[in-house]
Amino acid sequence: MVGVVQQLDEVVTPALVVERNRLLQNIEEMAERARSLGVALRPHAKTHKSPAIAALQRDRGAIGLTVATITEAEGFAAEGVDDLVLTAPPVGGWRLKRLLALARQVRLRVAVDSLEVVAALEQACRDHGVGYLWEIDCGVGRFGTVPGEVTAEHIAKAVDVATDASFDGVLTFGGHAYAATTREEIVAAAQDEHDAITQTVSALADRGIEANVRSIGSTPTSRFIQDAGGVTEIRPGNYVFYDATQVAIGVVPIERCALSVLATVTSRPAPDRLILDSGSKALAAERLTGLTSGFGVVEDHPELRVERLYEEQAIVYTDEPSDIPVGTRVRVIPNHACAAANLHSRMLVVDDGTVVDVWPVATREWREIESERRPAWSTR
């Protein structure tokens, strides 16, 4: 949305705010990180769900995007992104139907971790092939099979039974880095990612199978990986914004957080308690690590703690009596930027206290984006 100029103190609250200069710094730094590691950058767009931010990432060297849902894939394809990886197995006829429609327009790979999904892809892809990446569990305990021989055996069986669905490589996600309490533990999680990939690739090579794509992910591990040998790409997502969790586990200082929720102090019912108009529907009631105190950090007010969230209110405490008056506006850095962004329909892009642009948080919905019409949020 071009030509938007508005002072931040005029904005209706709660509102999702992005500091433009911090955002650009974060994007440029991770692009340089990928270059220094000698790997490609395929950022996870579930964090921002924004065509505008995706364009900034691609302008700075991202080879494509990672997405979490079919709707995200459809939305970014409609905006001209032609190289996508979908990280959730496409289970269900409705997903396969939409996936195949997309595969006719863009280069699309999907993550799988079972022969059942490969068989479904093979059956559905007879007219148009789709590539798949086999997911390895490097310690998260979510998607993926055990690294090394176990995964290699699964892939060998998949390659034997599927000819239209092509095996393109392997991926893993070191999400257990978010449980880290020290930088050394983040480095160890990054090593887990690397080892899961290299052990599996070696076991595949023994079977004469090549994994062209060898992909790892997560913002903390991408920043602290020591050895990227054998890896072809990284898939960080949160880095565009960062958040209170990244600060708590030592990834970045709070000054690097680009996303916050603008809120108004609507009540001061006690000397040690304030109420903000940014509840769980604006901040997201998430605590990803025990190192965070409450449900976000009030920027420029380290004495304040967001201890409780109701749907529309945040209850903030302070150890000393507060003289912050009712009507004051504050900015809360959420614990989880990805979840907070998903709660808002738009983000206000701010430069030096002035709203200079408004970007839609475009791919939040689960519905199908109908191919015969342009999405309502399209910028094209």
- What pLDDT does residue 232 have? 98
**Contact assessment for residue 107 and residue 150, using Cβ atoms and an 8 Å cutoff:** no
Predicted confidence (pLDDT) at residue 354 exceeds the cutoff of 50: yes
- What pLDDT does residue 367 have? 59
**Contact assessment for residue 18 and residue 241, using Cβ atoms and an 8 Å cutoff:** yes
How much is the pTM?
A: 0.93
- What pLDDT does residue 378 have? 45
- What pLDDT does residue 125 have? 78
Cα 30 versus chain centre, distance = 14
- What pLDDT does residue 364 have? 84
Q: Does the fold of domain 254-360 match that of domain 20-240?
A: no
* Backbone angles phi and psi of 225, in degrees to 5: -60, 135
Kindly state the tokens that stand for 213: 């794509």
| Tens of pLDDT, residues 36-82 | 999 999 999 999 999 999 999 999 999 999 999 999 999 999 999 99
Whether domain 20-240 has CATH 3.20.20.10: yes
* 136 Cβ contact list (under 8 Å, min separation 6): 144, 145, 146, 147, 151, 170, 171, 172, 196, 197, 200
Give me the CATH code for the 254-360 domain, please.
Answer: 2.40.37.20
* Residue extents of the structural domains in the chain: 20-240, 254-360
- What pLDDT does residue 371 have? 44
Any idea what DSSP says for residue 65? E
Mean pLDDT of the chain: 93
Summarize the confidence of residues 353-362 as an average pLDDT.
95
Summarize the confidence of residues 209-233 as an average pLDDT.
96
Predicted confidence (pLDDT) at residue 18 exceeds the cutoff of 70: yes
Predicted confidence (pLDDT) at residue 3 exceeds the cutoff of 60: no
pLDDT band at 247 (very low <50, low <70, confident <90, very high): very high
| Tens of pLDDT, residues 277-331 | 999 999 999 888 888 889 999 999 999 999 999 999 999 999 888 899 999 999 9
Predicted confidence (pLDDT) at residue 373 exceeds the cutoff of 50: no
Q: What is the DSSP string of 263-280?
A: EEEEEEEETTEEEES--H
Dist. CA 186–CA 179, nearest whole Å: 9
